[in-house]
Structure 1
Amino acid sequence: MPGCLRLKCWPLGSTRKGLFLVNASEIFPNSQRDVDSRFDIEEPSEEFFKAQEQELFDAPRCALIVLVTDHTMRSGVDTDRLTAELLSEADFKVDGVVEVTKRRSEIRKAIETGVAGGVDLVLTVGGTGVGPRDHTPEVTRDLLDKNVPGIAQALRASGLACGAVDACTSRGIAGVSGSTVIVNLAASRAAIRDGMATLPPLVHHLIDQLRRASMDV
């Protein structure tokens, strides 16, 4: 019978199993209506999604600076301050500066801290030369999900044009790990200044792509 439930029962005082029919609406009189009302939710409008997307794009873009130094050959004082100021001028919120030695384990841990913390950009400074203790590109490569060679090429080209020798001979690389962009810069003040003149529009473009992709998941 439509709309009925078949229930097993044992009448009082009897050991014999029996069957009887009851109308489901008598047991659950509001069940269908409750289910219908529970799922009667209006779909968000296109304007709502656009507002959400705009809010995501307008959120602060956070950066972590990883300063890779050789204490016997420091690149100069105030490198961290210069980098932080240039990042701020490029509309980044600097979450912090981590100074590490050129040991692979320290560089890796510092970069991973930024990626795990969800910053938009990890900018490493130093360790991109050809010396036996320069390991920043190798450590970075191991952490990347996607390599973006065009950024490193642009940094070397602009370094050559402005005469920043360590910038144009840098082995630095750039790419994406999770939702974080990672870029290696050479450590001289000229390389930092020139790099930060070239880098912002490229990195902001990648961050836009990553944020848009996070909404499509």
Structure 2
Amino acid sequence: MTVFIQYLVNGLSMGSVYAIIALGYTMVYGIAKMLNFAHGDVIMVGAYVSFCATSYLGLPGWVSVILSCVVCTVLGVLIEGLAYKPLRQAGPLAVLITAIGVSYFLQNAAQLLWGATPKNFTSLVTFPVPEFLAKFNVSAVSLVTIVACLVIMAGLMFFTGKTKMGKAMRAVSEDKAAAQLMGINVNRTISMTFAIGSALAAIAG
């Protein structure tokens, strides 16, 4: 029973990470209708920013996560504005090739900055596990990951269903031309989508 609970929580934790990754990826695809191959590389940048903040600057774990979200959000908006926005009316092949190019650029830039050697990443979660879970060998990181995923999903559901920007995103996802005729700023909406998706990538990293 102990082993089953341990594997169950670990599986939910890993699935929560994949869910956070998928949320950011599908937001961009659902609204901008493009496959953002650079999303995985934004996750990598987020992880490195958090690593540098904790290892080199000595910042607390929660500060490194916030810093990672800020950096990745800015990076996502820059990528969208510089690489994808000029191709808004281009064919899918041009957007696909550009996305692959951005991905390669981020990979090689990261290798030049941080090298290719593995990095030791200390845990950002330091609080003790409750006693009734500790006997099942459940780690604090797994608990935080699951709770963070649930909070993010609930927040996104509220954002897309209740806020003005969230409704604008749903409208752009359905029909960009009709949304623009209704007064929605499509370019700003897509940029906001990339910003949120990149922030989620940073959390996943």
What is the TM-score normalised by the length of structure 1? 0.27
Q: Relative contact order (C-alpha < 8 Å, sep 6+): which is higher?
A: 2
Of Structure 1 and Structure 2, the greater strand share is in 1
Which structure has the larger Rg over C-alpha atoms? 1
Of Structure 1 and Structure 2, the greater helix share is in 2
What is the TM-score normalised by the length of structure 2? 0.28
